[in-house]
């Protein structure tokens, strides 16, 4: 059964594992941030010292105003660091993606500077994607900016990277931003939003969105939704899954497996299992259903 799941959901799992691996490489490459004199700025905690000094924006302060004020302050107090982050160029990986690797990214004072670059939209798309991914390294108060950035960023590749940041944030605006991403016009962004919610402890809240996504026109959105319902097992997903199994789409086998997870007895009692087993893409799933494997 485990081999079958890996086969059916390989594209999904491959993307997740690749993302985790690249993130780990960036962390491994980074050391303690230092200023021009070899010391970390006194007002900022390093990653090893514990939680960021500023875990959230000051009460009543909008994130755009905060970015402006903090950028002006850092320009006065740490001009060398501002210059470094403003001019930081990403490295190109073997897969062609751009990744930012710098010790300067491991502190929350990098957050307003990176947000400022995203707001300006003067960098190219692949660089902006790298900036969005690098925000997660700063551990600063970027969460409240994500809804607005998802609303204004024109490139789906960048919105996908911004969506991935939502797995590590826990503020009220997170769900607003996730709902924004779940309804994005891009198939890749919608699929990423589903993956992100499934990685969170409050993932049950996404059930209505996942059930709706089963009938989305985007292949990756449907693939992610099938994976999600196989974990969440909402009864409301059964009609859409049955339509997928009875159809001729590319995800029939995955849909049958998810349907079996939702309602094992109903699937085992289907009268067309022999017919389904005649399809080479379905035979493995049907065999495991008949063996009664979970």
Q: What is the reported pLDDT for 173?
A: 65
Interval 173-204: pLDDT, tens: 688 899 999 999 999 999 999 999 998 878 88
Q: At what angle do helices 187-198 and 219-232 cross, to 10 degrees?
A: 20
Q: What is the reported pLDDT for 15?
A: 39
Q: What is the reported pLDDT for 55?
A: 52
- Token readout for 9 is 């959901």
Q: What is the reported pLDDT for 206?
A: 87
Q: What is the reported pLDDT for 53?
A: 30
pTM: 0.76
- Candidates 117, 109, 50; CA nearest to 80 is 109
Q: Which residues pair with 99 in a beta bridge?
A: 91
- Token readout for 10 is 């390989």
Q: How far apart are CA 84 and CA 78, in angstroms?
A: 10
Kindly list the domain boundaries of the chain, sorted by start residue.
54-201, 216-294
Beta strand ranges found along 126-256 (DSSP E): none
Q: How far apart are CA 239 and CA 114, in angstroms?
A: 45
Average pLDDT over the chain reads 81
Q: What is the reported pLDDT for 292?
A: 81
Interval 18-46: pLDDT, tens: 433 333 333 333 333 333 333 334 333 33
Interval 46-102: pLDDT, tens: 333 333 334 577 788 899 999 999 999 999 999 988 998 988 888 888 888 888 888
Q: Where are the alpha helices (DSSP H) in 88-155?
A: 110-120, 125-138, 146-152
Interval 92-142: pLDDT, tens: 888 888 888 888 898 888 999 999 999 999 999 999 999 999 998 998 889
Q: Are 133 and 24 in contact (CB under 8 A)?
A: no
């Amino acid at each position: 059964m485990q081999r079958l799941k890996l086969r059916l959901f390989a594209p999904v799992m491959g993307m997740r594992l690749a993302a985790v691996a690249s993130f780990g490489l960036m962390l491994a490459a980074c050391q303690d941030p230092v200023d021009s004199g070899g010391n970390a700025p006194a007002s900022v905690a390093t990653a090893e010292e514990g939680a960021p000094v500023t875990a959230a924006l000051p009460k009543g302060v909008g994130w755009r105003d905060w970015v402006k004020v903090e950028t002006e302050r850092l320009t006065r107090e740490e001009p060398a660091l501002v210059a470094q982050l403003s001019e930081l160029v990403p490295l190109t990986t073997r897969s062609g993606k751009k990744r930012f690797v710098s010790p300067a990214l491991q502190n929350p004072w990098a957050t307003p500077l990176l947000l400022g670059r995203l707001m300006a939209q003067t960098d190219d798309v692949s660089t902006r994607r790298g900036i969005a991914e690098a925000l997660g390294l700063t551990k600063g108060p970027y969460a409240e900016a994500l809804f607005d950035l998802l609303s204004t960023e024109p490139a789906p590749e960048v919105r996908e990277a911004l969506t991935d940041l939502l797995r590590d944030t826990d503020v009220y605006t997170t769900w607003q931003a996730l709902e924004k991403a779940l309804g994005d016009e891009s198939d890749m962004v919608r699929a990423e939003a589903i993956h992100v919610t499934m990685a969170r402890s409050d993932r049950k809240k996404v059930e209505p969105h996942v059930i709706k996504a089963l009938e989305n026109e985007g292949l990756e959105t449907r693939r992610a939704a099938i994976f999600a319902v196989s974990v969440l097992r909402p009864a409301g997903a059964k009609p859409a899954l049955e339509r997928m199994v009875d159809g001729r789409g590319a995800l029939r086998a995955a849909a049958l497996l998810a349907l079996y997870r939702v309602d094992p007895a109903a699937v085992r009692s289907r009268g067309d299992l022999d017919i389904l087993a005649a399809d080479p893409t379905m035979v493995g799933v049907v065999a495991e259903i008949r063996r009664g494997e979970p």
